[in-house]
Amino acid sequence: MTNRIHPLLILMTILVYIFLLGPLIIIFGASVSDTTFLAFPPQGLTLHWFENIWEISAFRRTIVTSLQVAFLGTFFALLIGIPAAYALNRHRIHLPGWLSTLFVLPILVPEIVIGFSLLRSVNVGLGAPVFATLLIGHTLLVLPYVVRVISASLASFDFSIEEAAISLGSHPVKSFFTIVLPNIRSGVIAAFILAFITSINDVSVSLFLTGPGISTLPIQILAHVEQFFDPTVASVSVLLMGLTIIVMVIVERTLGLTIVAK
Amino acid sequence: MKTLAGWILSSPATLAVSLFLIIPVAATISVTFTAPGGTFAPYVDFFSSGFQRTVLWRTFEIAAITTVISLILGLLTAYVVSRSAPWMKSVLIVLAVFPLLTGVVVRSFAWLIILGRNGVLNNSLEWLGVIERPLSLLYTQTSVVLALIYIFIPLMILVLIGVLENIPDDLLQASASLGASPTRTFVQVVLPLATPGLIVGAVLVFTASFTSYATPHLLGGTRQMTMGTFLHQRAMTSFDWTSASTVAAIMVVVIVTTVLVMTRLAKRLNPMAS
């Protein structure tokens, strides 16, 4: 089959892939450069900029906040998203069609509008603390991914097994935890990972929901780039790429990477 | 009983979306209709300013160019990937997923290093002797479009690989055995069957570039404001929340209209359905 593709098309594909990966390699090079400004190719090699991440307290704080928000937001999204996905698959005929649309709304509404609206209504309007509002924003942001991935793995689950357990006297709640949940385990792991990476990388929702003392890593990166054009941001970026690689390996081991494209 | 169980299980998520998404966004939009000065005053204000009209038009233009170029490059790349040998296909998919999972800030930042005054591109051109003084490549519409294409091509490739894989191989072989050249098969068989998928990809890229913040902020700055960066500036620098809400409302209208019109178009153009 391969030989039927026009050589020019193959050349173009190679160029597209160079375009895709080149800039990431450039970041890697800039992160180890021995200069006080961003340079590629690196002039001399140093790991100083990686140390610098931990020396700048703002980065330390925002990394901690980002991890907290990503873990908690994903946890809450799983807590409300798994039952919702279960209901949508198990009781679909008894539920109106718009309900499944409702759970993808956070993807349809522009993220930046969600962030601004939460600032107006929840943070300023209701007087909720910044961290709580940020957490609410991230839970909403990742909810569609959770519902979608869990629904995808429930779609291939045979509910008659669960019904058999219930008809043999097992409590529905117990049946869910002992029969349904173990069967969709890989879906839960994939949903967790996708949600976590989405949350860690988010800018637009977090943009309005950060305040004095509370910020997330991508927002801090934006602020740092504006003030200092030094390689620290390149080394933070390399750390984030390392995280992405770890995530890809885990996703590949659990559900296969095709889940990302869905 | 079953209906009740379904409702109870989905209620926490329903409640969360209603309380923290629908009500706040509705409140944001509704303040634009109750502003002092009349029902549509904020919109009259928005559209009577040449600067604000420019921001809206520029955002449209940037999103449209980004979408068209990503569509063309994405389709051709996805076609090659979907026709590759299985092991090669896996490698190419992994290489497209990696940038997709790398955050938008990191990927936009890469273009700062490339296009900056002392950036990779300027240094290379100077070294080659093409230019004598560094060019101002940043904070132009081109730099924003370039970075947005970079951000969204992986998404387009992955969506289109999924679409192209669903086209039965038999059809392509039939077309070839009936004497069609590969180009003709592509245009007359692959393209019509891929159209609904192309529309889905286009909608994803258009809406995401229209509402993006980090990329236009880093590569366009205040000189190339888009609806996203303008909304932030109105809200956090000018503290004009009515004006910011108006920008938000216009964004929602543009996105919802695009999605509705295009999904309808995708259904109508689906050759499988007719």
pLDDT reading at B1 higher than 80:
no
Residue B40 CB: number of other CB atoms within 10 A?
Answer: 14
Smallest Cβ distance to B98: which of A26, A140, A244?
Answer: A244
- Residue corresponding to tokens 């309380």: B19
In whole angstroms, give the CA distance from residue A47 to residue B199: 46
Give the count of domains, chain B: 1
Tell whether B169 is covered by a domain.
yes
What was the pLDDT predicted at A147?
95
Chain A nearest C-alpha distance from B253 (Å): 10
Helix B141-165 with B50-82: angle, nearest 10 deg:
40
User: For all residues of chain B together, what is the average pLDDT?
Assistant: 92
Q: Is A39 on the interface with B (CB under 8 A)?
A: yes
Residue pLDDT, tens place only, A16-36:
999 999 999 999 988 888 777
Provide, as residue numbers in chain A, all residues whose Cβ is less than 8 Å from the Cβ of B158: 260-261
Chain A nearest C-alpha distance from B120 (Å): 6
List Cα–Cα distances, B116 to B20, B122, B128, B129, B140, in angstroms. 40, 7, 17, 18, 12
Tell whether B175 is covered by a domain.
yes
Cβ contact B231–A9 (<8 Å): no
pLDDT reading at B274 higher than 50:
no
**Range of A250's domain?**
57-261
Residue B148's closest CA among B96, B97, B202, B209?
B209
The model's confidence at residue A258, banded by pLDDT at 50, 70 and 90, is low
Tell whether B265 is covered by a domain.
yes
- Residue corresponding to tokens 């081109």: B142
**Range of B202's domain?**
40-269
Q: Is A260 on the interface with B (CB under 8 A)?
A: yes
pLDDT reading at A3 higher than 70:
no
CATH code: domain of residue B145:
1.10.3720.10
Residue pLDDT, tens place only, B23-38:
999 999 999 998 888 8
In whole angstroms, give the CA distance from residue A152 to residue B217: 36
Tell whether A38 is covered by a domain.
no
For chain B, counts of helices (H) and of strands (E): 14, 0
Nearest-Cα residue of chain A relative to residue B209 = A110
Tell whether B192 is covered by a domain.
yes
Q: What percent of chain B shows pLDDT beyond 90?
A: 73
Q: Is A79 on the interface with B (CB under 8 A)?
A: yes
pLDDT reading at B232 higher than 70:
yes
Q: Is A45 helix (H, G, I), strand (E, B) or coil?
A: strand
Cβ contact B83–A225 (<8 Å): no
Tell whether A164 is covered by a domain.
yes
Most confident of A155-169, B148-162, B177-191: B148-162
Residue pLDDT, tens place only, B132-169:
888 899 999 999 999 999 999 999 999 999 999 888 88
The model's confidence at residue A111, banded by pLDDT at 50, 70 and 90, is very high
Tell whether B103 is covered by a domain.
yes
Per-residue exposure over A45-76, b if at least 16 CB sit within 10 Å of its own CB, e if not: eeeebbeebeeeeebeebbebbeebbbbbbeb
In whole angstroms, give the CA distance from residue B214 to residue A219: 9
Residue pLDDT, tens place only, B243-258:
999 999 999 999 999 9
In whole angstroms, give the CA distance from residue B219 to residue B145: 9
Tell whether A47 is covered by a domain.
no
Residue pLDDT, tens place only, B67-126:
999 999 999 999 999 989 999 999 999 999 999 999 999 999 999 999 988 888 998 998
Tell whether B9 is covered by a domain.
no
Tell whether A31 is covered by a domain.
no
What was the pLDDT predicted at A1?
43
What was the pLDDT predicted at B20?
97
Nearest-Cα residue of chain A relative to residue B210 = A110
Tell whether A167 is covered by a domain.
yes
Overall average pLDDT of the A176-196 stretch: 91
What was the pLDDT predicted at B142?
96
**What single-letter amino acid sits at A114?**
I
Provide, as residue numbers in chain A, all residues whose Cβ is less than 8 Å from the Cβ of B171: none
Most confident of A39-43, A95-99, B102-106, B180-184: B102-106
Give the count of domains, chain A: 1
DSSP string, B3-24: HHHHHHHHHHHHHHHIIIIIHH
pLDDT reading at A232 higher than 70:
yes
Residue pLDDT, tens place only, A92-109:
888 888 898 999 999 999
Structure tokens at B235: 């809200």
pLDDT reading at B228 higher than 90:
yes
**What single-letter amino acid sits at A150?**
I
First and final C-alpha spacing in chain A: 26
CATH code: domain of residue A79:
1.10.3720.10
Chain B nearest C-alpha distance from A72 (Å): 15
Tell whether B201 is covered by a domain.
yes
Predicted TM-score (pTM) of this structure: 0.93
Tell whether B230 is covered by a domain.
yes
Q: Which of residues 196-225 of A touch B (CB under 8 A)?
A: 197, 200-201, 203-204, 207-208, 218, 221-222, 225
Tell whether A13 is covered by a domain.
no
What was the pLDDT predicted at A2?
40
What was the pLDDT predicted at B180?
86
- Residue corresponding to tokens 């779609």: A155
Overall average pLDDT of the A110-134 stretch: 96
Structure tokens at B103: 């955050």
In whole angstroms, give the CA distance from residue B177 to residue A48: 62
In whole angstroms, give the CA distance from residue B36 to residue B247: 17
Query: Is there a contact between A144 and A107 (Cβ–Cβ < 8 Å)?
Result: yes
What was the pLDDT predicted at B186?
87
Provide, as residue numbers in chain A, all residues whose Cβ is less than 8 Å from the Cβ of B213: 112, 203-204, 207
Tell whether A208 is covered by a domain.
yes
Size of interface A-B (CB pairs under 8 A): 267
Smallest Cβ distance to A225: which of B17, B25, B109?
Answer: B109
Tell whether A70 is covered by a domain.
yes
Smallest Cβ distance to A87: which of B6, B105, B211?
Answer: B6
Residue A151's closest CA among A104, A63, A98, A84?
A84
